């Protein structure tokens, strides 16, 4: 049953795997590498079913690969964990989770200082930045290198957000990293950040809520209450789901989840894949799958036209991948893993047309059907949000300096409307200079920089592909300052 899904050769990526360790899956020894997430290691060894659901006993495997969905839960030494955000460790004993997790009696998350009134440490700081993707990294750099004390928190194992799984080359100007691949940009930017001594980077740390006492951060069960003067919310976006029969079968995965497996850990998500959605994400993941040696049987798109950029579409077409417009997935087949996708034509109202069903044999269905801004914390701060479909859903209202209706609370990147890494960087810089101007007064070097970035953003968005974003922004951008 155990196959090897690790990618051994890749045209552009070279996977530096850590020290080899042995873990045990239901008694069977499995090879894994330090630095991998447990989900990646299990998946690499051909394991599809990670858990059985409590009510209906349905099989589940990884979907998001970033700790957000819970479908990858397994028991490690008797404790239920999300395997996609749990690093492997030598000798781990793993079992599939059957039903609900049992709370362990051994307390590895003991709240310390049992008798003190407040077991959490409290810290004051100038700026708290939530989310270490392009927007958060950009804001951190500008703020920390201009003398502000900054806490940057991110719930993942590594910094960089979506960037660390982007293998394509960015275009644009030099300042905007033209000619570099996404993960390289993340690496170089991280190195820059690591040299700033006013910047405190906390990984595997979740900002769980906004309270009277401050913002509560949790790091592996340890709490920290942080009281910032300014906040930049840059928590990005999460992947959308799609409703169809058996959409919970192992092998149905988010495109982002598949990118994490493939580009970060060097594990092939599947051999024969159907991709749903022809936006840039769907097109790029298709190309990446081809590079990694998988076969993409089709891209299925409900709209009458391709959603992503022409250059990307042309590339996958050259490889002979059919893009089926006005089609959708209506069911997945399989017992413990996808064996086929049933697709069908749709009418103008995107309803499946009876009698047009087709069966495509495949082992993986990847959903690239858009993202939704991750505005939970934004709303907890009391920031006003409005529903703007062009920007991905509920988005915060803000001015062009990215300050919201709650003074000193700023937003940047996908959380403010789903766009891309380049615009996220620029928004991070704009938010950072706005904070510097508020804190230190309108010093000319800050104002000049901010204006430059605002102009750069306008320019970047002036292309026809940004038309939707431009029209969406009209609903959320208010006033000056």
Partner 1 sequence: MRRAEIAIVGGGITGLSAAYYLSLMGIDNISIYEAKYIGYGSTGRCAAGIRASFTSEVHVTLMKEAIKGWKKWSEEIDGVKFYQDGYLWLLTNDKEVRLHKEIMSLHNSLGVPTKLVDREEVKEIAPNIVLSDVMAALYDPTAGKSSPFDTTLALRRLLLKRGVKIHEYTKVLRMIRAGSKIKSITVEGVGEQEVEYVVIAAGFWSRELLQPLGYEIPIIGDPHHLMITEKVSPLVKPLVIHKASGSYLNQLPTGKIILGAEYPVRENDLELRIGFIIKAVKMMSRYFPSILNANLQRIWIGYYLKTPDHHPLIGFLPGLENAVIATGFSGHGYMMSPIIGEEIANLVVKGRPRLKATEKLRPSRFEEGEMLEEKAIFG
DSSP 431: H
Report phi then psi at 283, rounded to 5: -70, -45
CB of 62 to ligand FES, least distance (A): 4
Member of 15, 35, 70, 372 binding ligand FES (CB under 6 A): 70
Interface with ligand FES, residue 261, by CB under 6 A: no
Q: Which does 68 bind (CB under 5 to 8 A by kind): partner 1, ligand FES, none?
A: ligand FES
Among 21, 79, 303, 394, binds partner 1 (CB under 8 A): 79
Residues 163-202 that bind ligand FES (CB under 6 A): none
- Binds ligand FES by CB under 6 A, chosen from 7, 23, 72, 152: 72
Comparing CB distances to partner 1, the nearer of 95 and 180 is 95
Cβ of residue 75: shortest distance to partner 1, in angstroms? 11
What DSSP element (H or E) covers 377? helix 376-380
Question: Between 72 and 454, whose beta carbon lies closer to ligand FES?
Answer: 72
Identify the burial level of 267 via C-beta atoms within 10 angstroms of its C-beta, where 0-12 means exposed, 13-18 middle and 19 or more buried.
buried
Q: Among ligand FES, partner 1, none, what does residue 454 contact (CB within 5–8 Å per kind)?
A: none
Instruction: Verify binding: residue 8, partner 1, rule CB under 8 A.
Output: no
Position 282 contacts ligand FES (CB under 6 A): no
Q: Is 225 in the site for partner 1 (CB under 8 A)?
A: yes
CB of 235 to ligand FES, least distance (A): 16
Token pair for residue 222? 């340890």
- Residue among 399 and 405 whose Cβ is closer to partner 1: 405
**Per residue, what are the HEC states of the chain?**
CCCCCECCCCCCCCCCCCCEEEEEECCEEEEEECCCEHHHHHHHCCCCCCEECCCCCCEECCCCCCCCCCCCEEEECCEEEEHHHCECCCCCEEEEEECCCCCCCCCCCCCCCCCCCCCCEEEEEEEEEECCCHHHHHHHHHHHHCCCCEEEECCCCCCCHHHHHCCCECCCCCCCCCCCEHHHHHHHHHHHHHCCCCEEEECCEEEEEEECCEEEEEECCEEEEEEEEEEEECCCEEECCCCCECCCCCCEEEHHHHHHHHHHCCECCCCEEEEECCCHHHHHHHHHHHHHCCEEEEEECCCCCCCCCHHHHHHHHHCCCCEECCEEEEEEEECCCEEEEEEEEECCCCCECCCCCEEEECCEEEECCCEEECCHHHHHCCCCEEEEHHHCEEEECECCCCEECCCCEEECHHHHCCCCHHHHHHHHHHHHHHHHHHHHCCCHHHHHHHHHHHHHHHHHCCCHHHHHHHHHHCCCECCCC
8, 14, 19, 114: which one binds partner 1 (CB under 8 A): 114
Q: Does 396 bind ligand FES (CB under 6 A)?
A: no
CB of 120 to partner 1, least distance (A): 7
The whole-angstrom separation of Cα 91 and Cα 88 is: 9
Single out the segment in contact with partner 1 by CB under 8 A; choices: 39-47, 220-228, 262-270, 328-336. 220-228
Residue 93 binds partner 1, judged by CB under 8 A: no
Our finding on whether 243 is near partner 1 (CB under 8 A) is no
Residue 114 or residue 348: which is nearer to partner 1 going by CB?
Answer: 114
Q: Which of 28, 118, 451, 462 binds partner 1 (CB under 8 A)?
A: 118
Map the footprint of ligand FES across residues 36-55, applying CB under 6 A.
Answer: 39
Considering the complex, what minimum distance in angstroms separates the CB of residue 51 from partner 1?
12
Measure the CA–CA gap between 476 and 455, rounded to whole angstroms. 18
Contact between 82 and ligand FES by CB under 6 A: the answer reads: yes
Q: What does 117 bind: ligand FES, partner 1, none (CB cut-off 5 to 8 Å by kind)?
A: partner 1
Least separation, in Å, of the C-beta of 79 and partner 1?
7
Answer yes or no whether residue 109 interacts with partner 1 by CB under 8 A: yes
Min CB(51)–ligand FES separation in Å: 10
Nearest CB to partner 1, comparing residues 226 and 281: 226
Choose between 1 and 103: whose C-beta lies nearer to partner 1. Answer: 103
Taking CB under 8 A as the criterion, which residues in 192-211 touch partner 1? 208-211
Strand-pairing partners, residue 31, are 22
Selected from 25, 43, 63, 230, the binder of ligand FES by CB under 6 A is: 63
Q: Give the binding-site size for partner 1 (rule: CB under 8 A).
A: 31
Who contacts 443 (Cβ-Cβ below 8 Å, separation ≥6)? 436, 437
Interacting residues with partner 1 (CB under 8 A): 54, 70, 79, 99-105, 107-111, 114, 117-120, 208-214, 216, 221, 223, 225
Q: Enumerate binding residues for ligand FES (CB under 6 A).
A: 39, 62-65, 67-72, 82, 84
């Amino acid at each position: 049953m155990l196959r090897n899904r690790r990618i051994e050769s890749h045209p552009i990526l070279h996977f530096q795997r850590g020290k080899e360790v042995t873990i045990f899956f239901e008694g069977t020894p499995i090879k894994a590498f330090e630095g991998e997430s447990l989900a990646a290691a299990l998946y690499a060894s051909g394991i599809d079913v990670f858990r059985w659901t409590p009510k209906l006993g349905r099989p589940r495997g990884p979907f998001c690969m970033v700790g957000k969905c819970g479908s990858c839960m397994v028991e490690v030494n008797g404790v239920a964990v999300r395997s996609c955000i749990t690093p492997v460790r030598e000798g781990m004993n793993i079992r599939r989770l059957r039903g609900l997790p049992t709370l362990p009696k051994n307390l590895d998350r003991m709240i310390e200082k049992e008798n003190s009134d407040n077991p959490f440490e409290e810290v004051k700081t100038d700026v708290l930045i939530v989310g270490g993707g392009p927007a958060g990294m950009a804001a951190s750099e500008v703020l920390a290198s201009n003398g502000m004390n900054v806490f940057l928190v991110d719930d993942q194992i590594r910094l960089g957000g979506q960037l660390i799984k982007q293998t394509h080359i960015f275009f644009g100007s030099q300042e905007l990293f033209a000619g570099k691949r996404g993960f390289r940009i993340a690496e170089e930017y991280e190195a820059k950040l690591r040299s700033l001594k006013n910047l405190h980077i906390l990984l595997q740390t979740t900002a769980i809520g906004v309270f009277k006492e401050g913002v509560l951060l949790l790091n592996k069960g340890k709490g920290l209450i942080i009281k910032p003067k300014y906040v930049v919310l840059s928590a990005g976006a999460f992947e959308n789901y799609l409703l169809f029969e058996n959409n919970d079968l192992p092998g149905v995965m988010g495109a982002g989840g598949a990118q994490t497996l493939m580009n970060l850990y060097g594990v092939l998500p599947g051999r024969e894949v159907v991709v749903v959605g022809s936006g840039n994400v769907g097109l790029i993941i298709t190309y990446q799958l081809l590079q990694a040696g998988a076969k993409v049987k089709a891209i299925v798109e409900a709209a009458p036209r391709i959603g992503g950029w022409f250059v990307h579409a042309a590339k996958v077409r050259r490889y002979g991948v059919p893009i089926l417009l006005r089609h959708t997935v209506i069911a997945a087949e399989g017992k413990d893993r996808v064996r086929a996708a049933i697709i069908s034509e749709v009418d103008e109202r995107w309803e499946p047309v009876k009698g047009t069903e087709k069966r495509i044999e495949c082992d993986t269905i990847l959903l690239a059907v858009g993202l939704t801004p991750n505005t939970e914390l934004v709303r907890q701060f009391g920031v006003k949000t409005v529903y703007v479909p062009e920007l991905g859903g509920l988005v915060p209202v803000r001015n062009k300096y990215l300050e919201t209706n709650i003074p000193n609370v700023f937003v940047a990147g996908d959380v403010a409307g789903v766009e891309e890494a380049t615009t996220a960087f620029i928004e991070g810089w704009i938010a950072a200079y706005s904070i510097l101007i508020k804190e230190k007064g309108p010093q000319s070097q800050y104002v000049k920089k901010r204006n430059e970035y605002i102009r750069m953003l306008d320019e970047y968005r002036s292309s026809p592909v940004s038309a939707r974003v431009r029209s969406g922004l009209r609903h959320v951008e208010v006033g000056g300052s």
